[in-house]
Structure 1
Amino acid sequence: MDNSESESLLLPESEKAEDPDGDPDVIALPGAEQALLGVMARFERFESDPATDRLHVLTWVGKGLTPDELAEAYRRAIARREQRRDDRPVGVKFLDRLVGDVLAEHDQPERGARDSPWWESDSGIGAQGKRVHVARRPNESTPEYLVRVTKASGKGPWIEFVLKQWQGTSRYQQVIEFLGEDLLPVDFYAS
């Protein structure tokens, strides 16, 4: 019996992400968070509060940020501070803006003009899912998988694509709630 249509996009509490050993308190890939924290510890002009900055670090892990990309974002942050003759240390919020720039540059794969964006093909969605560490569930349809990959990928043109794809369906409101207000376009009004 196939009950995939009745399966919810939102996971029940018992199925929330855990590490492979089953520890529910571990919400990042093993070593990924520590790798980024290790890079951050080497930044000379960096001001950090580990308790409040962890959300940013985990978001970066989810977006697939590498230690080299984090170092590049920090280099750019220092360059901007020096350009403006600003002696303040770099904070995580300022660094996050530059992380976004670095990731956006690296998300632009070299491709011909006729190739489509990742969110328009099953293979592209699968590749992006791996990049943002979202595994496809058994028997999960491509549109449902795309919703989860889209959420993990953060803001971008894929959000509007997903909303248009689900508009007019019985699960449209559920998709909107799953994505969350922060990812919805500024001018978005649920219809």
Structure 2
Amino acid sequence: MKLTDLLREIGRPIAYHPGLAPKLGGVNAAVLFGQLFYWQARTQNPLGVFKTADELEEETGLSYEEQRTARKALRTRGVLVETNKRLEHKLFFRIDEDALEALLCGDAPKQVKSTSRNGESPFRETGKPKSADEQKPCPPTVENLDRGDGKDQVVIQTKTTAETTSEITAAATHAKPPVDNFAAAAASDSKSENNPERVLTDLLIAMEAERGKSLTIDRTKDRVHVLTWVGKGVNADQLREAHRRAVARRNDDSDERPTYAGFVAPFVAEVMTPTAAPATVTAPVGEWFKSPEGVDAKGKELGRRDRKADEDWRYYRVIVARAAKDTKAIEHVLTDAQRFNSVDLYQFARRTFGDALMPVDDYAS
């Protein structure tokens, strides 16, 4: 099958306004806003649009975690009003057009942390925003957005047009019965500030979003790292510092991938390790690889480059161990990586040592 045929079968692309991304909190928030704004014009329900997480993922490609972060960004800017009908197990979304206009015109309404239960915009209770005549005009690129004007960016190569509206409506009508994951999420959102796991998870996703990366936390692999951080009492500032070091490592390696939880984990451990007092006793002869000082000294002895200021000494130790061709050091490096469950460090060591220096029982099968 041709790639072009495959693209035709995987679904219709959607359009979004890139100029809204900085105002709404990022690309994902702009994509979610565009989809909800589109459907809002096609419902008569005063509460807005009812959509499940599965439906929105199918329509936008955003995962549940990405949707939740995007919803939070829109809520805090007053653009999105959510009404949770708990007895019906439904969560309705409504775009507050007055709040949107005020935001785009530079007079954003006061942010709120909770949503209205009756479906009314919380900003109507604080007074209607000033008219456009009393404040600076909206930027040209976002005028009359409700009529489809302004520049838009299209996912893949085409955009949804008026000719395809009937097809989209028909597809939505015959879609599979929705499975609502938002009801439980809505109930737990108010408790997020008291949930350390969620705070750290959201922070890591947000920091990657600032780099233009889309990060998803895999509960089968990544959650164990987050729970470990919670158990060790890692706070937001410490995670930010660990993330900064992880990003520096990615940049040094010219690696464009996101900094996954497993990759950040060694740097969190490094940040959480108290700075040791200057050692009064040097590492025992033959065990230089057990301390940063011993590794640095061995590197100088072998004529290796100095360790960088933000470089994890355990990664630098791999380079020095390879230069030394010290079997005991190599075995210790591999054992250390396995003991701390650092897959990235272990793989880096394997690539650096090569088959010639790897222990016999560690050869790839």
Q: Which has the higher contact order (CA 8 A, sep 6+)?
A: 1
TM-score, with structure 2 as normaliser: 0.22
TM-score, with structure 1 as normaliser: 0.40
